[in-house]
Amino acid sequence: MTSVEEVVGKIVASKVERQWGHVCDDVITLKTPPRLEFGDIAIECFNLARIVKTNPADIAKTLASLLTEDTAIIAKAVAMGPYVNLTLNAQFLFSAVVGTTLKKKAITGPAVMLEYLSPNTNKPLHLGHVRNGVLGVAVTNLLQWSGARVTTSCLINDRGIHICKSMLAWKLFGNGATPASTGKKGDHFVGEYYVLFAQKAKDDPSLEAQAQEMLARWEKGDPEIVALWKKMKTWVVDGFEETCNTLGFTFDVIYEESDTYRLGKDIIRKGLARGVFQKSDSGAVVYPLPEEEFGLNKDGSQKRVTLLRHDGTSVYITQDIGTAIKRAKDHNLDKSIYVVGDEQTYHFRVLFHILRALGYAWATQSYHLAYGMVLLPDGKMKSREGTVVDADDLVAEVVGYARAWVDEKWGKAIAPNEAARRAHVIGVGAIKFYLLNANPKNTIRFNPAASISFDGVTGPYCQYAYARAKSVLRKADGRVDMSSADISLLGDVLEERILAQQLVALPSCVETAAVAHDPSIVADAAYHVARALNQFYTSCPILAVESRLAAARLQLLTTAAESLKELLHLLGIGVLEEM
RNA sequence: GCGCCCGUAGCUCAGUGGAUAGAGCGUUUGGUUGCGGUCCAAAAGGUCGUAGGUUCGACUCCUGCCGGGCGCACCA
């Protein structure tokens, strides 16, 4: 498949070569004109002007006259200052666009592991996890689209003092209650004991020590503690699975910290023997961080990371090193991506640096996909003030809005389970679109009510444009003779051209998003296609026009609808044929 | 103190050194009721945090400052 941009690029390059004798790629840059009425594609002449030492405006004039020769491709070439604006031949533009789809590439790319979500098994998932998961899914889809072999993984944080706190609270105050006996979802049930622990510990400081003791007993393998740990972990994980199913988060591999926390010690000891690491005065194993990259401590001393404590026990980064190496070996990885909040940026910088220092080639391809915090309309989520937005509650709220919309529109015309299905697709799509529409690294403000709006840059707006297109296609089925389609009739109405322009830009747009690990580029494209579709819908009647034009318009509409669906699928968002 | 990220319209966000800095929401005015109400036209709203520098050209690159967030453990 040769894209429109490639065809035009080749023509321009040949003209430039003939006139000025330069052929390198970055001499000419193709851009989208700032105004659609200027044309379909713009050429910027600054680089060429610099090389041939001529005024860019003169170059534009010369180039424009050269480009008027290929009328089968370029209908019009107009110099505007240092730019040449091209209007493509309608026949060429529309036949290139109609029928093309955003098919993913063959799997020939690198083996990538993408780790996301990584929950703690002491409380339910919250809004921050939702952003994490939604990003993880979308980036996985984008990488797969561009040909990577992606394995998704989830590291479940199922050990540590915070886990013991909820265990201790349940043991002391639970009276044997279970999720089943209380009718509560397992992760919420356990989360309540974690909160209860904090409350009780205020009055009884000895609880902290008891939790520490429990952790020690767990590490020794005390059967009673291990049994309790397993029981409560199952409750939480069952709850997580339900939430993940609702939101479409799936994993190829699950790692559990209770399995992996012992990893890494050997590697550190070997690194010490090889002289990569050092022993500190206290006997801990440390790695000195190079000043050029990490700076110095407050007192001017060199920064260093502890990798093993003086008693030989491991710290957080020890097991991260061990797990990274194990994963790379198990799956023969070329690249690792970690979707983790940006508060851990420093940690990952250090981790990747140490892996490189140990000589692992794949470590240079490690990437921390750091995302910003999610704020609420009235500020930051604070667990102490109870303003943390629970993932399940959020989904229920937004799906509830969607259900009200569906019920108002369809009433009893559709079955309740169908109404529920539609509300789910709309509500979950709304949340996902809202969270993906902003650049991942930015802190964002989440407004549930705004996310579900059918106006503006939202998921429901995009889904609606798709459903509307499908409705027209259903109505036209059997009434329009598709074999009579005459593509050359397209392009007289501006809205047809605008729609085609949006579709032309999609392949390079998705490619850019994949390379940048940034789904917001795709969300933006989906909105623009949806908008162009709505404008096309308004200005270009189909059933009322003669069949050669009607069929051509239907073909364009089909391509646009399929492209929109594919864009939304890349974001992990579903569509409805009727909504 | 040091490091990273951010600061663009009332709000939410775009803006690979290049054309008059753009969308959406909200506000105001008008048109449209169509294959399915999500469409269109227009108005208002910006010293792009601030002061310098580099450049033919800076929202974009560099430096200082101001404001916000997050980090900088023998925690995870």
- φ/ψ region of A175 (left if φ > 0, alpha if ψ in -120 to 50, else beta) reads left
* Mean of all residue pLDDT scores within chain A: 91
Over the stretch A269-323, which tens digit does the pLDDT of each residue have? 999 999 999 999 999 999 999 888 888 887 778 899 999 999 999 999 999 999 9
Over the stretch A458-507, which tens digit does the pLDDT of each residue have? 999 999 999 999 999 998 988 889 999 999 899 888 889 889 988 988 98
Q: Which nucleotide is nearest to A319 (CA to C1')?
A: B76
User: Residue A379 domain-assigned?
Assistant: no
User: Residue A380 domain-assigned?
Assistant: no
What's the rounded mean pLDDT across residues A43-61?
A: 88
Does the CA dihedral A101-A106-A110-A112 come out positive or negative?
positive
Q: Which nucleotide is nearest to A33 (CA to C1')?
A: B19
- The answer to whether the beta carbons of residues A356 and A364 sit under 8 Å apart is yes
CA of A54 to C1' of B57 (A): 16
Question: H or E stretch including A444?
Answer: strand A444-445
DSSP state of A491: T
> Residue A58 is part of a domain; what is its CATH number?
3.30.1360.70
Report the C-alpha gap between A136 and A139 in whole angstroms. 5
- A445 and A365 in one domain? no
| Residue A549: pLDDT over 50 | yes
| Residue A381: pLDDT over 80 | no
What is the model's pLDDT at position A27? 73
Report the C-alpha gap between A420 and A489 in whole angstroms. 42
Beta bridge partner(s), residue A376: A379
Full-prediction pTM beyond 0.90? yes
> Residue A426 is part of a domain; what is its CATH number?
1.10.730.10
- A400 and A365 in one domain? no
User: Residue A284 domain-assigned?
Assistant: yes
- A450 and A336 in one domain? no
What is the model's pLDDT at position A47? 86
Over the stretch A367-378, which tens digit does the pLDDT of each residue have? 999 999 898 877
- A215 and A130 in one domain? yes
- A549 and A408 in one domain? yes
Write out the DSSP string of A123-167. Answer: S--BHHHHHHHHHHHHHHHHHHHTT-EEEEEEEEB--SHHHHHHH
- φ/ψ region of A533 (left if φ > 0, alpha if ψ in -120 to 50, else beta) reads alpha
Q: Which nucleotide is nearest to A438 (CA to C1')?
A: B13
CA of A454 to C1' of B24 (A): 11
Q: Which nucleotides of B are covered by protein (CB under 7 A)?
A: 1-6, 11-16, 18-19, 22-26, 34-40, 56-57, 69-76
Task: Name the band, by pLDDT with cuts 50, 70 and 90, for residue A1.
Answer: very low
Over the stretch A351-363, which tens digit does the pLDDT of each residue have? 999 999 999 999 9
CA of A176 to C1' of B5 (A): 47
Report the C-alpha gap between A362 and A355 in whole angstroms. 9
Q: Which nucleotide is nearest to A455 (CA to C1')?
A: B38
Over the stretch A53-64, which tens digit does the pLDDT of each residue have? 888 999 999 999
- A343 and A473 in one domain? no
- A322 and A282 in one domain? no
User: Residue A296 domain-assigned?
Assistant: yes
DSSP state of A23: -
Report the C-alpha gap between A126 and A393 in whole angstroms. 9
- A300 and A179 in one domain? no
| Residue A28: pLDDT over 80 | no
Percent of chain A at pLDDT exceeding 70: 97
Domain boundary among A34, A53, A88: A88
CA of A296 to C1' of B2 (A): 8
Name the residue closest to B35, CA to C1': A472
- A342 and A210 in one domain? yes
For A291, the domain range is 265-313
| Residue A379: pLDDT over 70 | no
| Residue A571: pLDDT over 90 | yes
- Would you call A119 helix, strand, or coil by DSSP? coil
CA-based nearest residue to A374, from A188, A130, A187: A130
Name the residue closest to B72, CA to C1': A346
CA of A455 to C1' of B44 (A): 21
- A55 and A125 in one domain? no
- The answer to whether the beta carbons of residues A144 and A104 sit under 8 Å apart is yes
User: Residue A377 domain-assigned?
Assistant: no
Name the residue closest to B25, CA to C1': A456
User: Residue A100 domain-assigned?
Assistant: no
Numbers of helices and strands, H then E, in chain A:
23, 14
What's the rounded mean pLDDT across residues A228-240?
A: 97
- A145 and A23 in one domain? no
CA of A82 to C1' of B57 (A): 12
Name the residue closest to B23, CA to C1': A457
- A281 and A270 in one domain? yes
CA of A288 to C1' of B2 (A): 17
User: Residue A95 domain-assigned?
Assistant: no
Write out the DSSP string of A211-274. Answer: HHHHHHHHHHT-HHHHHHHHHHHHHHHHHHHHHHHHHT---SEEEEHHHHTTTTHHHHHHHHHH
Q: Which nucleotide is nearest to A49 (CA to C1')?
A: B56
CA of A134 to C1' of B48 (A): 31
User: Residue A385 domain-assigned?
Assistant: no
What is the model's pLDDT at position A254? 96
What is the model's pLDDT at position A37? 76
> Residue A141 is part of a domain; what is its CATH number?
3.40.50.620
Beta bridge partner(s), residue A152: A114
Domain boundary among A342, A371, A400: A371
- The answer to whether the beta carbons of residues A230 and A258 sit under 8 Å apart is no
Q: Work out how many domains chain A is built from and give that number.
A: 4
CA of A345 to C1' of B71 (A): 8
Domain boundary among A23, A54, A88: A88
Position A375: which residue type?
L
What is the model's pLDDT at position A382? 66
